[in-house]
Chain A
């Protein structure tokens, strides 16, 4: 009797266990389908793309084509890389200074400032893209990498400040005070103690910003036309008179995605931590 009940209990557990698994697999399937489709399409010929067959002769032709005339994806790749890289290069040091001050000093109107920094994130990009366009036209930096870097800086900075502040908040104040008493100036404390301890956080924030800048679409779409076009905008090139060139689009998509996957892999641990930290604080 009791054995039978135990057995049915185990069955129940097994049933829920397998249902769990099925649901997870279904979710993974739904999420991965577009990526798998792109990954396959990138290696298919133009003819094969329209067929959903899994067996085909893979070709690297698509990747060759996108880098050649008239698409010159290499130029866009260069633009994207430079814009994202320089954005991070400036964003992280500046954000670190701001984050340190917010974290360690009591400033007048501190909460207000922090909220305002966050509030800039709530403004829909479409609303401010026009003023940017007009301003940049007057300044003569439309369709330049400089313009894009400035815009991207404005986009990533709030993220970076909040994230890095979270990491610096996590450094025990005792450690800094110990260094002050041990004979350091404030600058030495930051250089010798805070920066090394916050390094994983800074790297995470940097990669975060890189991803945001790399994927940025709307501003790049409006503010560039030829010279400073980035990869996501470059995708639009593959709309030809004969229809969408899916295989080329997929190849370009892979080129956009792969660096992101690599970065995500590097920081997967910190990534989650960084996201939750930003969320809670």
Chain B
């Protein structure tokens, strides 16, 4: 068992900087998710931990040991790849057994351990098959079983669910969560799927352009976004971001059409962020402001009402029995505790 620490890690290819002088502590037994859009450096960070990529500068520690110069095989890690990385010429049994065989585990120990791992991911009946005779979900289970057959110090998972269809992804996500709870092994998990991140993580590191934007529990990330990027990246439907100015404790939307009570002092170039679920749809005239309905969407479990004012739009989530017509004027009321102000230029969070 061991934590991981990255100290001032930089990875660059020529002039291109993939990871920009980042430090990160992953605690022992913690499930840490690296979350961000493609090209943000999350996979590169993980590959540096795995030893598949060498950092340009900085130190990587697994436990107490600096592993910069260690080969992947000497880092005592297991990794699950996005494309599974199975060995197509071997049976499922041999795939799972490979990490044991190549590390010289006694033959008598291999079979029981492979069987146990296969059992944990419900693959027992497929052990004699080749990967190509398996479905996507089953292949991913083989990859998982291969990772858990040994008890490594660290699990690394690189978008392990992204090649599965939506339904299977949800199932596998729950299984993964259950498994990781059982195993109690330090895990770093890379994904661009915020729901995976929210549901699986003990802590999330949101990354963009090679930098960690915010590191915190899912709750902190969701309820207390550090900047505009984190605010806009997390949440589905996305947070409403409305440009405007604050004047004497009033937020005035760009174009000056609508005003609501928010913020303090005077400041230009403000982005006000509020999540659709923190807005409620009320009768015209009784909310913070009135807007005509631009679109009405019924998702079954809730409805989304999008209103338009000037060139900006705002989406509110309503109960599943709410019905509105396009162009109907509705009132929108915001939860004052969950309004965030950002600097429109730098993107930083403002305490207004």
Contacts and interface: CB of A to CB of B under 8 A. Distances in A.
Contact of B83 (A174, A180, A181, A185): A174
Q: How large is the interface on A (under 10, 10 to 19, 20 to 34, 35 or more residues)?
A: 10 to 19
Given A183-B99, A188-B102, A175 B73 contact: no
Q: How large is the interface on B (under 10, 10 to 19, 20 to 34, 35 or more residues)?
A: 20 to 34
Given A181-B79, A182-B73, A185-B73, A175 B102 contact: no
A181 B50 contact: yes
Contacts of B102: 179, 182-184, 188, 192
Nearest to B152: A181
Interface string A151-190: 0000000000000000000001011011111111100100
Interface string B79-92: 10111111111000
B24 interface: no
B52 interface: yes
B71 to A, nearest CB: 7
Contacts of A192: 87, 98, 102
Main secondary structure of the interface of A (DSSP, over half): helix
B200 to A, nearest CB: 21
Main secondary structure of the interface of B (DSSP, over half): mixed
B85 A177 contact: yes
Residue among A174, A181, A184, A193 with most chain B CB within 10 A: A181
Nearest to A172: B83
B148 to A, nearest CB: 12
Contacts of A180: 51-52, 71-73
B89 A177 contact: no
A153 B103 CA distance: 38
Given A177-B52, A192-B102, A182 B88 contact: no
B95 to A, nearest CB: 9
B114 interface: no
A182 B98 contact: yes
Given A179-B98, A185-B73, A197 B89 contact: yes
Q: Which 4 A-B pairs have the closest CB atoms?
A: A178-B85, A174-B85, A182-B99, A183-B73
28 contacts: A172-B85, A174-B83, A175-B85, A175-B86, A175-B88, A177-B50, A177-B52, A178-B79, A178-B87, A179-B85, A179-B98, A180-B73, A181-B51, A181-B72, A181-B73, A181-B79, A182-B78, A182-B98, A182-B102, A183-B73, A183-B99, A183-B103, A184-B102, A188-B102, A192-B102, A197-B87, A197-B88, A197-B89
Interface of A: 172, 174-175, 177-185, 188, 192-193, 196-197
Interface of B: 50-52, 71-73, 77-79, 81-89, 98-99, 102-103, 143, 146, 156
